[in-house]
Structure 1
Amino acid sequence: MIPTIKQSRAFTITYGAYVTLFFIYLALPLVVVSVFAFNDSLFPSLPWEGFTWDWFFGRELPKRGVFFESGILGSIGTSAFVAVSVAALSVGVGTCNAFLFNRYEFRFKSALYILMLLPLVVPGIVLGISILVFSSTLANGIEDGVGWDIEALRPGLVLVILGQFSFITTIATLVISARLKKFDQSLEEAALNLGATRMTAVRTITLPYLKPAIFGAVLVAFLMSFENFNTTLMLVGSDAPLTITMFDRLKEGSTPVLNAVSLLLMLGSSVLALAMIAFQRK
């Protein structure tokens, strides 16, 4: 709807109702999950048995809270380690990719760009299976050939990081490229005319200009890695990230402690999103 074009009252009411229902549809599942994180019941469902903090701070079974669940806390640490590693790798490579595709012309540039975008259209579970088959085949071949058992090529955290990096780096590249396209290269040329080297001009002029995009790419990469399930499921080893741990708990039988974990994740994601908005405004 274009604000400058006057609309009929009926259309305005209908449009407002549609937008309201749309946001209710998006928010209602999150609200339900949050509410049942405080339900004094062993099951995350009706009836409402009363308000409790046990699913956060309870010490004893069967109502041991999330802050005293060593398995869940350990998986949160694993997810954080993976997410930080993936974010660092993705943003570093994504920044280089942004300069490569925006500043240079070379043969097969379009084909390489399409190849970079390919992981975004491949389903995550297919991507995970493909990486697992390739790495396992390579590891078996090396072991049979020279007798070396390379643990990094087996399911585990290294493979999880590489699997998530394979598609998250594409998103980081697109985020940083979008801002780099708006950069006025005459600023770099002025620095070069004043005696600065190419690297000095990039470091002191271009990178500060890209700082909001780089910060946003870090947050996006971190959150996407932290909540990734499909690709991680195919590559995980004994150290399971949070999404895999929650999936295993659901197979055993859901309890409100998973609602409590979900609520904490929503709050953490909201804080990071607000931090990104505040940084970009600044």
Structure 2
Amino acid sequence: MIPTIPQSRFVRRTYNAYIALFFIYLGLPLLVVAVFAFNDGQFPSLPWEGFTLNWFFGAERPMIGVFNERSILSAIGTSVFVGLSVSALSVAVGLSNAFLFNRYQFRGRGIFYVLMLLPLVVPGIVLGISILVFSSTAANAVWDAVKWDIEVLRPGLVLVVLGQFSFITTIATLVISARLQKFDRTLEDAALNLGATRLTAIRTITIPYLSSALIGAFVVAFLMSFENFNTTLMLVGSDAPLTIAMFDRLKEGSTPLLNAVSLLLMVGSSLLALAMLSFQRKD
């Protein structure tokens, strides 16, 4: 709806009702998940059996809580490790890509740009299978040739990091590029005229200007890595990140423990997003 165009009362009410229903559709499942994290029962379903915090802090089975469930805590630690690794790599390469595609003209630039965007349109499960097939084929070829088993090419955390990095770095590149396009390059020219080298000018002027975009790209990359499932499922080894651990638990039967984990994820993601927005407003 365009605010400047006069609308009848019926159209306005219909539009407002649509917006309300849309947000209810988005928020109601999350609310249900959050509510049943506090249900004093073995299953996240009606009837409501009372309020409890055991699914967070319980220490005795069958109602052992998130903070006392070693497998879940280990999976969270694995997800944090993978997320930080993917985020650091994505921001570093994304910064380089942003400078490459915004500052330089070279033959094949358009083709390389399309190739950079390609992982965004490839389904995650297809991307994971492709990486798994390629790495396994390479590992098997090396083993057949010299009897040397390259473990990093086998399913495990290294492949998970590389698999997520292959498409998350594109997001980081776009976030940083959007900020870099607004930069006034005459500031760098002024620094060069005052005797600074190109690297010094970029380090002292351009990078601080990009700081909000770098932090934003890092947070977005971390959140995308933390919640990724399709690509991770194809590449995971014995150390399962949280999404895979929750999927394995769900196959055994849903309990309010998974609701509690989901609630913590919602709160954590929201806090990270709010912190990022607050930082960008101050920039």
State the TM-score, normalized to the length of structure 2: 0.99
Letter in 2 for 1:256: P
- Name the counterpart of 1:261: 261
Structure 1 residues without counterparts, runs of 5 or longer? none
Letter in 1 for 2:229: F
Q: Kindly provide the CA deviation profile for residues 216-267 of structure 1, in whole angstroms up to 9, marking residues without a partner as x.
A: 1000000000000000000000000000000000001110000000000000
CA distance in 1, matches of 2:6, 2:214: 40
Structure 1 residue 148: Cα displacement = 1.1
CA distance in 1, matches of 2:119, 2:2: 36
Extract structure 1 runs of 4+ deviating beyond 4 A.
none
Q: What is the aligned length?
A: 282
- Name the counterpart of 1:182: 182
CA distance in 2, matches of 1:172, 1:61: 43
- Name the counterpart of 1:219: 219
Counterpart mapping for 1:147-186 below 5 A: 147-186=147-186
CA distance in 2, matches of 1:247, 1:198: 50
Structure 1 residue 11: Cα displacement = 1.2
Structure 1 residue 280: Cα displacement = 0.2
Letter in 2 for 1:93: V
State the TM-score, normalized to the length of structure 1: 0.99
- Name the counterpart of 1:64: 64
Structure 2 residues without counterparts, runs of 5 or longer? none
Superposition RMSD on alpha carbons, in Å?
Answer: 0.6
- Name the counterpart of 2:114: 114
Q: Kindly provide the CA deviation profile for residues 82-141 of structure 1, in whole angstroms up to 9, marking residues without a partner as x.
A: 000000000000000000000001110000000011100000000000000000000010
CA distance in 2, matches of 1:203, 1:3: 44
State yes or no: 1:281 paired with 2:281: yes
CA distance in 1, matches of 2:96, 2:3: 40
CA distance in 1, matches of 2:119, 2:48: 44
Structure 1 residue 6: Cα displacement = 2.6
Q: Secondary structure at the match of 2:210?
A: helix
